[in-house]
Structure formats: C-alpha cells, structure tokens
Amino acid sequence: MKLVIVESPAKAKTIEKYLGKEYKVMSSVGHIRQIPKTKHAVDIENDFKTEYEIDPEKKKIISELKKAVKAADEVLLATDEDREGEAISWHLMEVLGLPKNTKRIVFHEITKPALETAVKNPRTVDTAMVESQQARQILDRIVGFELSPVVWQKVPGGKSAGRVQSPAVRLIVEREREINAFESKFTFKVTGIFQSDKDEIKAEYSQSFADERAAGEFLKQLIDAVFAVDAVAKTPTSRNPSPPFTTAALQIEANAKLGFSSKTTMSAAQGLYQAGKITYMRTDSVNLSAQAIGEIAGFVRSNYGEKYLKTRNFATKNATAQEAHEAIRPTHISDESAGKNNYEKRLYALIRSRTLATQMAPARLEKTVVKITTPNARGVFEAKGEIILFDGFLKVYGKAKELSLPNLQKGDVLPVKEIVARQTFAKPPARYTEGSLVKKLEELGIGRPSTYATILNTIQTRNYVKKGVSEGKEREVVQLTLHKSQIKKALAKEKTGGDKGKLVPNPVGAVLSDFLTVNFDQIVDYGFTAEVEKDFDKIAESKVSKVEMLKRFYAPFHQLVDKAADAKRWNNARELGVEPKSGKMVYAKVGRKGEYLQVGEVEKGSKEKPRFAPIPEGETVETVSLESALQQLALPALPRVLGTSDDGVELVAANGPFGPFLRAGKHNISLTGDDPYTITLERAEELYVAKKASIIADFGEVMIINGVYGPYIKGAGRRNHVKIPKDVDPKTITEKTALEMLANKKPTKSAKRRASVKRKSTSVARKNTKRRSSVKRQGAQRRRKA
C-alpha cells in the first residue's frame, strides 16, 4: 500500500477518487507544527535557530499518520506546490521521521491525468523553498514579537504591527489624507441635446467655464443659434480579451464584479480547487498549458464557430512568479457549472467565462465622433458613439456600452432641444476597495498571492481599517438650462463623499501608521518591503542564504526597537484652539476607546479636571474644527436627566460601552436611532411605555418579556436569559418556575465560545505581560553591554 499525505481533507477525498486501490490518501489538516505563540522561539545569536511545537489539536492526527507510515510500502508527500505547501511537507518529514529521499509529488490541478503524471515524476522536498518560507515566518515573528510590545505601550488601542500589514494600513491612511486635503474646485460643463428626426444626440462642449456668470453669458450667445454638423469621423477599432486569472487579478475582479471580499474569493477558490474543479488558486502566472488551450479551442469551435476562435499564449510579466506554473482555469472547460454553494458557483462562472474569452477572437467595434458647431461659439460640441461590428470574446465575458448615433452628414442642420450648463465639482482620489488595494500592493511588490487575503483580513479584524457604510452627503449644484430661447436656473442635488464598501482608516490605524512612519520607517516603507519580498524569492532560488538575509534585516531593526523605548506616547493630538468661556485649550485626541475632545490639561496641584466629549458625528481627529468642537462641548453633559414618567420613574439619557441608552428605573432601553443629547422627555416616555408593554410578568429578580424573537425569561445581569418553549404559555409561568428555568438553562454555542475566548484572552494577557517584561529585561541587558 502506498500512502499519500496532503494537507486538506477535501483535497484527500478528491484525490482518492482518481488514484487506485493501492493508494491510501490521508490529510494532515494544515500545518502540524508552528513556532510557539507564547515565546520568541527564535535564537537570534545562534543563526536564527527556530523552535517548533506540535499543535496540541494535531496530536491524534500525527499518531494516525505514524501508524499509516509504518504500514505503508511507500510514502508520497502531495501538499500544495507553493512554499507553504513545501514547508508542510518538510515538517511532516521531520515529525514522522521520514527519510530525506521521501518522494514529493506536485500538480496544479486535481485530475486523473495530472495525478498520474505527478506520480510518475516525483522529486524530493525543495529545501530552498522551505528556507524561503521559514525566512518569511521568522522575520514576521521577529517583527511581531519585538515591535508589538512597543506598539502596546506607545499607541493607544494598538494591538500589533506587521511587516506587510503596516504598509497596507499606511496606503489607506495616506489616501484618506489626500481626500481630506483635496480642494474640490468646480467648473461649469456644457451639454447640448440635439434633434435628428426622431433621434436625440447628446454632445459635450469642448470648453468649460469658471463660474456661473461665465456659463450664463455663454448660454446667452447661443439663444437662437443655428447648429450644423461640421465633421463625422468613423474609426474601426478592436478590443482584445484580458489574460486568464492570476490570484491577484481574481481577487480584484471578484471584488469589482461580484462584490466578494478577498477572504471570500480565496475561500471559494480553495473549495473549487480541492473539489478538482479549477487549477491551483495561488499563482502569479498567466500561462495556460498546451493541453488546456487545445481543450478550450475545441469547445469554442464547436459551440461558437470558427470565426470566434483565436488561440493565444500569454506571457507572465512578473519575473519572480513562484507560486505555480499555470493561471487559474477550470480543469474541464465543458463543465458549465461547479461549486457546492452560491459563492463557489458564481466564482466558477467568472473563472470559466474569463478563461474561454482568452482563446476567442477580438471584438471589432466602430467609434463615431460627430462635431457640431455654430457661428455663435468658438468651441465644438462633440457627440461620441460606439457600435459592435463583431462581438468576439464579448459574447462570453465583459461588455461594451453601445451608443448608436444616427447617420449624419457634414452640413446637416440640427435643431436644439436644450443646452445645459451644470456646476461640476472635481472629484478627490478614490478610496481603496479590497480589489484596488490588492492591485496597488501587487504593483508595489508588497506581499504575494498567498498573503493578500490575510493582509486585508488582519487590518480589519484588528480595527485599523473598516469598510465604510456612508452613502455620502447631499449637496446642491447650480444648473442653467437654455430651452426655447429662455435661460432658467435650478438647483439640483447630488451625493458626495460616500464611502460605502470602501476601506477607511480607523483613528487607531492612523495613529499607528504615523508612529511607525516616524520611528520604524523601514517597516512601512514600500520600497523596503518589496525588497524583502525579492529576498525571499532569491532564497527560494538558492541565490541568497536565509541566515544572511535575516542578519541583514535584524541589526538595523533591533536598533530601532531599542531607540523607540524612549519615544513619546503617540495619540495624534491636535490643538484646535481656545474655548472662549474657560480660556483653556481644546484638543482632539485618540484614546484606547476611540476619538474624543478634551478641554484643558491635568495640572499639578489643581483639583479641576479636564472636560471630555465625543468627537462630533461624521468628523475625525484630523477633520474636526474648533467651531464644531465648541458646538459639541456646548451640548448638555451625559448622563442627562430628562424628567419623570407618568408613574414616577426618573428617565435619564446616558452613554454606555454598548452605545447610548435610556435609564428608566431598572430598565436600560437602547437609544438606537435617537440622540442622547437631544432626545425629549416625550420621546423617552414613548420608549419607556413600549418597554413596559413588552413585559408579561415582573417578579422583581426575574421578568418574563415578549421579545422580537418570542417570549423569554430574563434574570439579573447581561446575557442571563432563557427562551420559553413554544408549547408553554408564558402567562402561566410562576416566579419559582422562571428561576428554575434560568438555573437549568443549557449554555448556547455563543456562550461557550465567549467563555472559551475569555479563558484564552486571560491566558494570552498573562503571557503577554511576561513577554513584555522579558523583552524589557533583554533590552536593558543589551544596553548595559553596549
């Protein structure tokens, strides 16, 4: 019996279908060893020798693998063909005690022919690729372990800093500041609507106007003007298909066309690969195998005809492409659908249509430009149209916006329907989406196909960046319309500043980025980060040694860590100006719990404390003005007593850790949708009455409440509640029964998860405290030696 070891149970299941009965396929379920999380585990002085520990959850799997290895005649390691997969194979060899000549098989698609070819052409584990993966892992561990304690101490709310995540945050912060600094100037752009028989022709004027007066004067010149076609130019053009997908291109396109996050895209792609439906999903290559091109060409010929066929070979521009040797494509182009869920099905359809398009004929189009002039104006009105003469690859992928213009000749007179001069504001740079950020990281050479999704997930889960939800604010724009020899002015409305679905930096992300830029420039420097990636490539190619590369990085980095111990605590505080009534300085600051306003400072010997208030809604530390800060500070302080209800209960508007709420005796009522600073007594009374109406029984210590999801019993404290079964009438439940039901309730999955997270958090906090103390001691010892 031959034993094949892969890293994924789903992959094992698919491979087992294709290999014969003489093969047994087992899975390691990912990495079996890691660098310990609770200690440095990298011996800097001893050529970066690294300690590894077996994941406790993998002990049973390792035991089963060892038994299978003993019983097997031969072992084949079949983990993914990238550096991460190579490292998993190396760890398996070390832990399972396999010889160095153990066979290693690689394939970029899980099909019977690919597996048969791989089995016939085994190799051994590529130690250069393993060292490249280890260098990345060790470097990231060093940065995380030595830099993160500095971030905890110096950056309010800072959780960690990473070699690749930090430049990504910096990109988003810099783009946000470009947007904030952008001066949105406007001009008046002129558009004419002309008539040709029953057709309307929309044409843009070649000049714009600086202000409303100039635009109005221009429209006056056009009253009773005669317009005629001055020229008609028709230009044939063609459009070629894009190359097949690389990992980055897939993430960019899935984000743009399907709205998928990078994490969702890679999860769906992995599912498709492991099911044998697409080729390996982590790749820098745009190459397609000759066999694949032949299969696609045959499909195009038989389904669309010879005229739609155009075979192509795409060249990979990235000289350091190291992940796989082929682009992402379906393993069988004739499979029109694949995937176990909607995400996989939609992604497969995208991959398949893009792959088909690569071997199809160019689309042929015809562009038409009609120039319309009048003796009353120097400029030209231009109407542009485009029609598809032959759709080619557009039949399966992409589309062209067709705009057909009527058949016009030079000299044709065109009656005017209306001419509009509209105030048009210049647009600031666009915020990054997940897709456009991946594209930027790829352009800068930061990260690799296997890391983009992780980078994007990390910067969001650590609260450095968030996805915006704002649709934008409305603003008025002036519109002048010339219609039937009369000029009318109107105010139109448009949305501006929307950030929905875009990546926006959180305050702590901006503070962290600034701190690192000042104190650890090499960590956030785009060029340096890209050079490190090139060094990893060189290690994989045996051009540079792992130890040499790590030594070159560590010496200057560690000096910066020691130096940063004396750096000031960073909070991006801004002095906004003086508060007139107190004469004290007003600051905008970032703290552990977010942004806030502060009036005055802590002064020695003074009992007077600074005053605090939240940053006004829609503002940030970097954008808030003294005027809006003073308005916020003038609002009544919280908690705010509104008055008493009809039954004598005091109603108080307050702010808590979970947002604003109304305190009404023993009830805390969420103020979702209501402002605690402006809510009236009448509105508070409404909320209180509604809350009382939901209470079926109140026994004091315990209540029976009719909630959104049905009746439930609520005890003292948060999350102390239990749902009442559907077959039980809540009105018949006594206090004793209610208390018994609370005492006997089974913990929910979320409760178990919270308890587990709490235990782990407490454990990690203790270990981090020890680690910080250890790092401080080591730093002090090194400084004494120096």
DSSP code of 241?
P
- Say how many C-beta atoms besides its own lie within 10 A of residue 397's C-beta: 17
Token pair recorded at residue 782: 């090194």
Separation between Cα atoms, residue 684 and residue 550, nearest integer Å: 63
Q: Return all residues near 194 (Cβ < 8 A) that are at least 6 apart.
A: 200, 201, 202, 203, 227, 372, 381, 383, 414, 415, 416, 417
Contact (CB, 8 A) for 149 and 567: no
- Amino acid in position 1: M
* Three-state secondary-structure class, residue 205: strand
Q: 274: closest CA among 447, 57, 104, 27?
A: 27
The residue with tokens 């030209």 is: 380
**φ, ψ for residue 663, nearest 5 deg:** -90, 120
CA atoms within 13 A on the CB side of 45: 2
Gyration radius from the chain CA atoms:
33
Instruction: Tell me how far CA of residue 104 lies from CA of 13, 68, 77, 120, 713, in angstroms.
Output: 19, 17, 5, 11, 60
Return the exposure string of 110-138: e unless at least 16 CB atoms fall within 10 Å of the residue's CB, then b: bbeebbeebbeebeebbebbbbbbbbbbb
Strand ranges in 716-759 using DSSP code E only, listed in sequence order: 721-723
Beta strand pairing call for 103-104 and 74-77: parallel
Instruction: Tell me how far CA of residue 127 lies from CA of 84, 88, 89, 545, in angstroms.
Output: 12, 12, 10, 11
Contact (CB, 8 A) for 288 and 244: yes
**Residues catalogued as catalytic:** 280
- Say how many C-beta atoms besides its own lie within 10 A of residue 756's C-beta: 10
**φ, ψ for residue 156, nearest 5 deg:** -60, 125
Sign of CA dihedral 256, 262, 264, 269: positive
Q: Return all residues near 280 (Cβ < 8 A) that are at least 6 apart.
A: 80, 81, 82, 108, 109, 273, 323, 324, 326, 328
Separation between Cα atoms, residue 21 and residue 9, nearest integer Å: 18
Beta strand pairing call for 703-707 and 695-698: antiparallel
Q: 629: closest CA among 674, 571, 580?
A: 580
Separation between Cα atoms, residue 387 and residue 382, nearest integer Å: 17
- Amino acid in position 187: T
Contact (CB, 8 A) for 461 and 262: no
